[in-house]
Amino acid sequence: MIARATVLGAPIVDGTAGNTMRVMSLCSPAQFVSTQIPVPTPTSGELLIRVTACGVCGHDLLAASGLLSAENGAVLGHEISGTVESVGSPDLTAWLGTRVALVQRRSCGECADCIAKHTSQCRSGPGFYGDDIQGGFAEFVLADPRNAVAIPDNIDGVTAAFLSCGVGTGLRALRAAKLEESDVVLVTGASGGVGLHTVQLAKHFGLRVIATTSREASTEALMQAGATEVIVDPTVGKIREVAARLGRLRGVDAAIEITGAPLFATSLRSLAPGGRLVLVGNVRPEVLALDPGLSIVKELQIIGSAHATREDLVEVVDLVASGSIHPIASRVFALNDLPKAFAALRSRSYTGRAVVVP
Ligand SMILES: [Zn+2]
Ligand SMILES: [Zn+2]
């Protein structure tokens, strides 16, 4: 047991100093090993977070497979909630004991992107959990007030873990799609964590949602989340038929493309003239074939949408605290069972988001 930090003037004494913590570190492609490493020490401006839960996301699958920047020994996990255990400077003492949800990237707060509030584009700060800095498949992580948002008592720690990635990603994508009430939006890959919550958000904003999935067993959950129609194993024909039934004879107003390569062409061809395709997911990183003629003639827009900012996360916390959105943690695994959580994600054996708890 690590003693709670005590305030003894500047800098704040870190009650965890010299202790070790348990992490799950990457030991070869898609394999993890339980390891003890030193608890990180917060420096000036930093918060030490005792992790409550960490979501398991498709991004982690890519990282664990060696397709991103993470190398052997990396501690992945970027969907983190926890409690502020100690702080690195006296100006942060008000954070001690605060329950927080974290944005997955720690930004610098000073570069042109940060000043313009495009913090997901910052490349001067500590970086992205798991890719650049130690992630949340651990007992502790470092954070700072630029990526931490306090959560109210009516949001539990398991839910808080994936509010930024699992919910904020969809919020940002829907905003990028420039939709108006009663518009018809296509959400692909809808049974995953981002997809399921994008469906909930779209419903909340008064949109009509065509959700697609390869998983028939997710149909009921997607209808409960607010889908107007669910299509299993979508094709352009099936999507356009449903869109026509909803009064969109020339296709959907926008598509939130959460799969990337598998359904990009299908989503693009399902758009009405002037339609927007927002690229969010990238389950199989590869170059996409784009039909220039189709895009030109129909004046389509293809928009990339990155991860949530702190402002997005604050909005998500408000939506959840007020009961407008009900995030769903489908599976909860112990941290040591991280390989089981990955296996479950790989086999798509559940709807929504799974988390691990230390
Ligand atoms: Zn994620
Ligand atoms: Zn910056």
The enclosing domain of 127 has a CATH number of: 3.90.180.10
Share of residues in the chain with pLDDT > 90 (%): 86
User: Where does residue 41 rank: exposed (0-12), middle (13-18), buried (19+ CB within 10 A)?
Assistant: middle
Q: How far is the CA of 221 from the centre of ligand 1 (A)?
A: 20
The answer as to whether 309 is a domain residue is no
Q: Give a yes or no: residue 262 inside a domain.
A: yes
Distance 173 CA to ligand 1 centre (A): 14
Same domain, yes or no, for 85 and 188? no
161 pLDDT higher than 80:
yes
Residue 2 lies in a domain: no
* Confidence class for position 351, pLDDT limits 50, 70, 90: confident
Please tell me whether residues 158 and 189 are part of one structural domain. Answer: no
- Residue 312 resides in a domain: no
Residue 206 within any structural domain of the chain: yes
Asked whether residue 14 carries a pLDDT value surpassing 70, the answer given is no
- Closest by CA to 98, choosing from 142, 48, 55, is 48
- pLDDT category of residue 289 using cuts at 50, 70 and 90: confident
Question: Which pLDDT belongs to residue 70?
Answer: 87
Provide the 10 A C-beta neighbour count for residue 122.
23
How much is the average pLDDT of 276-305? 93
CA–CA gap between residue 16 and residue 138 (Å, rounded): 14
Q: Over range 158-176, report the average pLDDT.
A: 97
44-58, 62-76, 119-133: range with lowest mean pLDDT: 62-76
78 shares its domain with 186 = no
Distance in angstroms (rounded) separating the CA atoms of residues 154 and 269:
42
Taking the CA of 127 as reference, the closest ligand is 2
Inter-residue contact 313 to 164 (CB < 8 Å): yes
Q: What are phi and psi of 210, to 5 degrees?
A: -100, 110
The arithmetic mean of pLDDT across residues 265-279, rounded, is: 97
Ligand nearest to the CA of 111: 2
Q: Check pLDDT > 80 for residue 7.
A: no
Same domain, 56 and 153: yes
**The pLDDT value given to residue 146:** 97
Q: Which residues contact 339 (CB under 8 A, 6 or more apart)?
A: 31, 32
Looking at the fold, whether 35 and 156 belong to one and the same domain comes out as yes
For residue 348, the model assigns a pLDDT of 84
- Round to whole Å and give the CA distance between 124 and 128: 11
Same domain assignment for residues 280 and 222: yes
Strands, E assignment, 168-288: 184-187, 208-213, 229-232, 252-257, 271-279
- Please write the tens of the pLDDT for every residue from 211-251: 999 999 999 999 999 999 999 999 999 999 999 999 999 99
In a shared domain, residues 198 and 293: yes
Cα 68 to averaged position of ligand 2 atoms, centre (Å): 21
- Total domains in the chain come to 2
Q: Is residue 189 part of a domain?
A: yes
Taking alpha carbons only, the member of 192, 234, 174, 193 closest to residue 210 is 234
Asked if 87 and 42 touch (Cβ cutoff 8 Å), the reply is yes
Question: Is residue 1, in this structure, part of any structural domain at all?
Answer: no
Indicate the average pLDDT of the chain. Answer: 93
Statement to judge: residues 145 and 211 lie in one domain: no
- CA-to-CA distance for 267 and 269, rounded, in angstroms? 5
What's the pLDDT score for residue 2?
Answer: 37
Can you give the residue range of the structural domain that contains 244?
168-304
28 band by pLDDT with thresholds 50, 70 and 90: confident
* Residue 84 C-alpha from the chain's centroid: 21
Question: What's residue 4's pLDDT?
Answer: 38
129 and 258 in a single domain? The answer is no
